[in-house]
Chains A and B, each alone.
Chain A
Amino acid sequence: MMSSVDHRTLNFVFFVFLMVISSANSLQRTLNYAFNEDCKELCKNTNVRLAHVTAIGPNDTLHYLWDFTKNPSILIAVTSPAAKLVIDWHKYIMRIPNSLNFTEKPIYIFGVSIERLLEFNDINDKARIDEATDKNIKELKFENFEWHYKNITSKDNFVELYMKASKYHNPETNERRHGIIKFLMHGFGTLNHSRITPCMLHSENATQIDITLENIETERSFSKSRFAFELLIVSDNDPNTLLEVNTKRKLDDEFTPGIFEILELSTPVIYKKSAYLQWRPVSYIKPDRDVTNSSSTVFYPIKNATTDIYFSNTNLLYMYYGENMFNILVQRMNISLGGKGDNVYKETQYATWTFIVGYGFPPEERFSNIVIMIISIGVGLPLLILIMSGIYVCVRRRPKQPSDEFTHHR
């Protein structure tokens, strides 16, 4: 019995050791960043805003395209290391489809665009946009904001782009609103947790989008304004498949305090390749992103969006796919910010949403080293005590040497 216990402890120690080693050693990519690459004079005085991040790995290269020309859009393309992005800037500025391509056909490609920003009047405090009547929903077009290229941090293993939209002005109705939308775009070179709460786990094949709606003036006739997004998801799959959001419940909320759920949307696997969208159902209502300032998000069933009434044919995705978008999987999904019973946007004047778009499968969350340490002390210490007392008892019970007077009487 003693030896088996010993064996198990050894295994356990070895296991912990392995986990520590493996966490320090994972695949890396080197990142490069360019904004309106090679556009030069042509893009001056236009509203073209296209960021291009290349993440070079040992076997392939990932291209992240972050476009804010019309709707904020993301395109992830996986190519061979030799492939280059080619943009016909004349056509791109004119918003003519198929104006960008790669020198080699990408191995995999996946696109997500934020099609609409919607404001709805949550009169019944259900926090659901599908409960609101059309009269109580209003769209704010992204192109009616003034866009600013604020800041860029570009390192070998990390890229951060900060874009800001402000001063909403609708030329048709002459409606003006104050308030800003911040877009914090991240590209990663390693597997890690994001610095920005909800500190989601990302792989080296992923990009994170963090959106903050700050002090946006709400519609005057709405007493209980909340905001919602409509996402457009485009992938090279059969147009008749239906994507599904998968809800996972975790035990561990170490990195996103107070949030135990994680939501994932994965595209069907073709040739062992797929992509995903992942987020935590949390929206922060103050810049201090802690438990007390957290509210939830609500997502709605995914619907088909194969006809162009559902998407703008000026967005980045259409610029790449062109007519092809009518033949592949194009779906839309709504996400609204704020949960039932929580303060509405009109009161908080602040809301966030963070999501990750990645290639492959979402990385599996693990217990952190400190948790492993606590658990191993919790389990290991009693085992150790058991072994020690076992040895102690064995030593004491062992019959003494012949000089022991009691043994004669046996």
Chain B
Amino acid sequence: MEGGIMDGPEVTLSRSEDDPSLQGCFSPKRAPFRFLGLALMCFMGFGSYFCYDNPGALQDNFKNDLNMSTKKFVLLYSIYSWPNVILCFIGGFLLDSLFGIRWGTIIYMSLTLFGQLIFAIGGYTNVFWLMMLGRFIFGIGAESLAVAQNSYAVLWFKGKELNMVFGLQLSFARVGSTVNFLVMEDIYNYVSKTLGYLGAECIGTVLFLATLTCVASMICTLVLGCMDSHAEKVLRRNEGEEPTIVRLTDVKDFKNIFWLVTWICVSYYIAIFPFVSLGKVYFIRKYEFEPAVANTVNSMVYSISAIASPLFGILVDKSGKNILWLVLSIIGSLVAHGLLAFTYVSPYVCMILLGLSYSMLASSLWPLIALIIPEHQLGTAYGIAQALQNLGLAITSIVCGIIVDNHGYFMLEMFFFTWLWISLITAIIIWISDSNSTGGYLNMSPKQRELYEKNPCLPQIMEREKLLSGDGSTSDLSGDDLLQPQSDTRMRNRYLTRIGAETPVHIKEFAHCVFPLYSICL
């Protein structure tokens, strides 16, 4: 890869390279600075993911200590998710238009911390409405924080390790939730047995202790804010640029391809999250697994993604070709669900395949948005994607429950199957429409993208130059080139150079480009 890790963003081109503030190993241009930032970005989300599943980890204790019915318990999760069907989008928009990324992150993190604190107070005093209020505020903060986290990642890593960073953030989310499930029970036992708290006070104390993770995340957010502010000054990011005004109406000018990507965010995830939430019983019923084993198999999707997401992220960073990976991962998921529905193949095989596909999808899909939408609207864009995904998941979780109760797990698999089909077809439509409108920008390798950004008509130029400059034989094409899908233009051009004919002027691929080299080449 030519644009190696050490290179700074292009906006710094105006600045002379021997500026003292760019020297030293803590220069914003150097890797240690960015990777410290990355660590902070990951830990920034840790608190919210840890606290999100606090009730889940202490489900029995909640019910016993607070005399909570299952219905009320479920409300603690609903109040988190339903408002975010809209608020996530607003959060993203405010990030772009009003707060800016640094202040936005700090504000959302504060909301998260504040919400969790109220939740803990509610638990301590056993006042249900206070707990609900806490979860509500926590939800607003945490979901918008996730949007801000994405925007931070794009700002710092676009064109470099962005896919890996997305993968790493995803795996950190999983780690946060897993750690919560592992330690909360022990913390509860410590508080109740060693410290001797009882009932609601015990739950409250445990929740206060959990709040410490949010405090830690808050500290990370503040440090990251300082680092970002430093980097902005040193790198003179945004300097001399007109501040772009972001309006809510910009949304309607978003490219169609963005909406297609969002549609995949909705349709694909339907086949993952609701499945995992119902999966345990499915494995017990269909494969006669013991509950503990069924739980392990079921959570394999997440445990695999915790490891595989960053690795796949690196793979996508190096190779580009996001859409190819996207299509492959959807096909992988289809196969996994197909095996689960139509065979008795070991669920371990199915879930490993599903876990790998899911990680691959996360690493290739979310960065696509950053490639489509201009940076100043990214918060809004990620907010929309996440809000619509929340909406889809909120509705389908209910639908899935109804399907299982009335028509069984087999029909549920059919339902997932259908949604995966829809997302596969959407991915193919994205592939086709992208290669028609930009010559396949989204599916380019990083090198091709870099060239393309300098001149949007470059793919054609490159091909023609390469072919016309040489002796016309295919020997000058490297093996790598031959492996790539051959565009029509390329096939035609190679044919023309071989026969020594002039390129007909009417080749339609060139018609929409202003092509300065055109006449020279000919």
A binding-site residues for B, Cβ under 8 Å: 249, 251-260, 290-292, 341, 370-371, 374, 377-378, 381, 405-406, 409
| A371 adjacent to B285 (CB under 8 Å) | no
| A251 adjacent to B501 (CB under 8 Å) | no
Chain A CB within 8 A of B208 CB: no
| B417 adjacent to A409 (CB under 8 Å) | no
Chain A CB within 8 A of B421 CB: yes
Residues of A close to B408: CB separation below 8 A = 252-259, 291
- Chain B 274-296, CB within 8 Å of chain A: the 1/0 string? 00000001000110000100000
Query: Within the assembled complex, what's the spacing in Å between the Cα atoms of A405 and B408?
Result: 63
Q: How many interface residues does B have (CB within 8 Å)? A: 24
- Chain B 404-442, CB within 8 Å of chain A: the 1/0 string? 111111110010011001000000000000000000000
Most buried by B among A251, A255, A259: A251
> Which listed residue, B286, B405, B410, B501, touches A290 by the CB 8 Å rule?
B405
> Which listed residue, B410, B418, B495, touches A253 by the CB 8 Å rule?
B410
Residues of B close to A378: CB separation below 8 A = 417, 421
> Smallest distance from the beta carbon of B495 to chain A beta carbons, Å?
8
> Smallest distance from the beta carbon of A136 to chain B beta carbons, Å?
26
Query: Within the assembled complex, what's the spacing in Å between the Cα atoms of A370 and B408?
Result: 14
> Smallest distance from the beta carbon of A353 to chain B beta carbons, Å?
18
Chain A CB within 8 A of B499 CB: yes
Query: Within the assembled complex, what's the spacing in Å between the Cα atoms of A409 and B286?
Result: 66
> Which listed residue, A251, A257, A374, touches B417 by the CB 8 Å rule?
A374
Query: Within the assembled complex, what's the spacing in Å between the Cα atoms of A374 and B342?
Result: 13
Residues of B close to A370: CB separation below 8 A = 411, 414
Query: Within the assembled complex, what's the spacing in Å between the Cα atoms of A378 and B285?
Result: 26
Most buried by B among A254, A256, A341: A254
Identity of the chain B residue whose Cβ is nearest the Cβ of A255 in the assembled complex: B408
Query: Within the assembled complex, what's the spacing in Å between the Cα atoms of A243 and B366?
Result: 60
Residues of B close to A253: CB separation below 8 A = 285-286, 408-410
Chain A CB within 8 A of B341 CB: yes
> Smallest distance from the beta carbon of A247 to chain B beta carbons, Å?
11
| B404 adjacent to A258 (CB under 8 Å) | yes
> Which listed residue, B286, B407, B421, touches A254 by the CB 8 Å rule?
B407
Q: SS class of chain B's interface: helix, strand, loop or mixed?
A: helix
Residues of B close to A260: CB separation below 8 A = 285-286
| B344 adjacent to A258 (CB under 8 Å) | no
Residues of A close to B421: CB separation below 8 A = 377-378, 381
> Which listed residue, B341, B407, B414, touches A257 by the CB 8 Å rule?
B407
> Smallest distance from the beta carbon of B46 to chain A beta carbons, Å?
34
| A257 adjacent to B405 (CB under 8 Å) | yes
Query: Within the assembled complex, what's the spacing in Å between the Cα atoms of A290 and B285?
Result: 13
Top 8 nearest A-B pairs (CB, nearest first) are A253-B408, A257-B408, A290-B405, A252-B410, A409-B499, A258-B285, A260-B286, A254-B408
| B404 adjacent to A291 (CB under 8 Å) | yes
Query: Within the assembled complex, what's the spacing in Å between the Cα atoms of A255 and B342?
Result: 16
| B499 adjacent to A257 (CB under 8 Å) | no
Identity of the chain B residue whose Cβ is nearest the Cβ of A261 in the assembled complex: B288
> Smallest distance from the beta carbon of B400 to chain A beta carbons, Å?
12
Residues of A close to B406: CB separation below 8 A = 257, 290
Residues of B close to A251: CB separation below 8 A = 341-344, 410
Query: Within the assembled complex, what's the spacing in Å between the Cα atoms of A253 and B409?
Result: 6
Excluding A251-B410, A253-B410, 10 further A-B contacts by CB distance (< 8 Å) are A249-B344, A251-B343, A253-B409, A257-B404, A291-B285, A291-B404, A291-B405, A292-B405, A371-B411, A406-B499
25 inter-chain pairs at a CB distance below 8 angstroms, sorted by A residue, are: A251-B341, A251-B342, A253-B410, A254-B407, A254-B408, A254-B411, A255-B408, A257-B407, A257-B409, A258-B404, A259-B285, A259-B408, A260-B286, A291-B404, A291-B408, A292-B405, A341-B291, A370-B414, A371-B411, A374-B417, A377-B421, A381-B421, A405-B501, A405-B504, A406-B501
Interfacial residues of chain B within 434-456, with CB under 8 A of chain A in the complex: none
Residues of A close to B409: CB separation below 8 A = 253, 257-258
Query: Within the assembled complex, what's the spacing in Å between the Cα atoms of A406 and B281?
Result: 65
Interfacial residues of chain B within 463-503, with CB under 8 A of chain A in the complex: 495, 499, 501
> Smallest distance from the beta carbon of B282 to chain A beta carbons, Å?
8
Query: Within the assembled complex, what's the spacing in Å between the Cα atoms of A406 and B405?
Result: 65
Query: Within the assembled complex, what's the spacing in Å between the Cα atoms of A68 and B462?
Result: 89
Query: Within the assembled complex, what's the spacing in Å between the Cα atoms of A251 and B342?
Result: 6
Identity of the chain B residue whose Cβ is nearest the Cβ of A410 in the assembled complex: B499
Identity of the chain A residue whose Cβ is nearest the Cβ of B415 in the assembled complex: A374
Residues of A close to B285: CB separation below 8 A = 253, 258-260, 291
> Which listed residue, A249, A259, A374, touches B418 by the CB 8 Å rule?
A374
> Smallest distance from the beta carbon of B222 to chain A beta carbons, Å?
46
Residues of B close to A256: CB separation below 8 A = 408
Query: Within the assembled complex, what's the spacing in Å between the Cα atoms of A341 and B408?
Result: 22
Residues of B close to A254: CB separation below 8 A = 407-408, 410-411
Query: Within the assembled complex, what's the spacing in Å between the Cα atoms of A406 and B502?
Result: 10
Query: Within the assembled complex, what's the spacing in Å between the Cα atoms of A210 and B347?
Result: 34
Residues of B close to A290: CB separation below 8 A = 405-406
| A258 adjacent to B281 (CB under 8 Å) | yes
Query: Within the assembled complex, what's the spacing in Å between the Cα atoms of A249 and B286?
Result: 9
> Smallest distance from the beta carbon of B275 to chain A beta carbons, Å?
15
Identity of the chain B residue whose Cβ is nearest the Cβ of A256 in the assembled complex: B408
Query: Within the assembled complex, what's the spacing in Å between the Cα atoms of A254 and B411?
Result: 6
Residues of B close to A381: CB separation below 8 A = 421
Query: Within the assembled complex, what's the spacing in Å between the Cα atoms of A257 and B501?
Result: 68
Residues of B close to A259: CB separation below 8 A = 285, 408
> Smallest distance from the beta carbon of A209 to chain B beta carbons, Å?
23
> Smallest distance from the beta carbon of A389 to chain B beta carbons, Å?
11
Interfacial residues of chain B within 283-329, with CB under 8 A of chain A in the complex: 285-286, 291
Interfacial residues of chain B within 355-408, with CB under 8 A of chain A in the complex: 404-408
> Smallest distance from the beta carbon of A126 to chain B beta carbons, Å?
15
Query: Within the assembled complex, what's the spacing in Å between the Cα atoms of A27 and B409?
Result: 31
> Smallest distance from the beta carbon of A272 to chain B beta carbons, Å?
32
Residues of B close to A291: CB separation below 8 A = 281, 285, 404-405, 408
Residues of B close to A405: CB separation below 8 A = 501, 504
Residues of A close to B414: CB separation below 8 A = 370-371, 374
Identity of the chain A residue whose Cβ is nearest the Cβ of B414 in the assembled complex: A374
Query: Within the assembled complex, what's the spacing in Å between the Cα atoms of A77 and B406?
Result: 35
Query: Within the assembled complex, what's the spacing in Å between the Cα atoms of A341 and B291?
Result: 10
> Smallest distance from the beta carbon of B141 to chain A beta carbons, Å?
33
Residues of B close to A371: CB separation below 8 A = 410-411, 414
> Smallest distance from the beta carbon of A46 to chain B beta carbons, Å?
44
Query: Within the assembled complex, what's the spacing in Å between the Cα atoms of A406 and B497?
Result: 12
Identity of the chain B residue whose Cβ is nearest the Cβ of A257 in the assembled complex: B408
> Smallest distance from the beta carbon of B26 to chain A beta carbons, Å?
54
> Smallest distance from the beta carbon of B304 to chain A beta carbons, Å?
25
> Smallest distance from the beta carbon of B456 to chain A beta carbons, Å?
26
Residues of A close to B291: CB separation below 8 A = 341
Identity of the chain A residue whose Cβ is nearest the Cβ of B496 in the assembled complex: A406
> Smallest distance from the beta carbon of B119 to chain A beta carbons, Å?
28
Residues of A close to B411: CB separation below 8 A = 254, 370-371
Query: Within the assembled complex, what's the spacing in Å between the Cα atoms of A370 and B343?
Result: 19
Residues of A close to B344: CB separation below 8 A = 249, 251
> Smallest distance from the beta carbon of A82 to chain B beta carbons, Å?
44
Identity of the chain B residue whose Cβ is nearest the Cβ of A341 in the assembled complex: B291
Query: Within the assembled complex, what's the spacing in Å between the Cα atoms of A290 and B291?
Result: 19
Identity of the chain B residue whose Cβ is nearest the Cβ of A294 in the assembled complex: B285
> Smallest distance from the beta carbon of B399 to chain A beta carbons, Å?
14
Residues of B close to A409: CB separation below 8 A = 499, 501
Identity of the chain A residue whose Cβ is nearest the Cβ of B341 in the assembled complex: A251
Identity of the chain B residue whose Cβ is nearest the Cβ of A250 in the assembled complex: B410
Residues of B close to A292: CB separation below 8 A = 405
> Smallest distance from the beta carbon of B431 to chain A beta carbons, Å?
13
Residues of B close to A249: CB separation below 8 A = 344
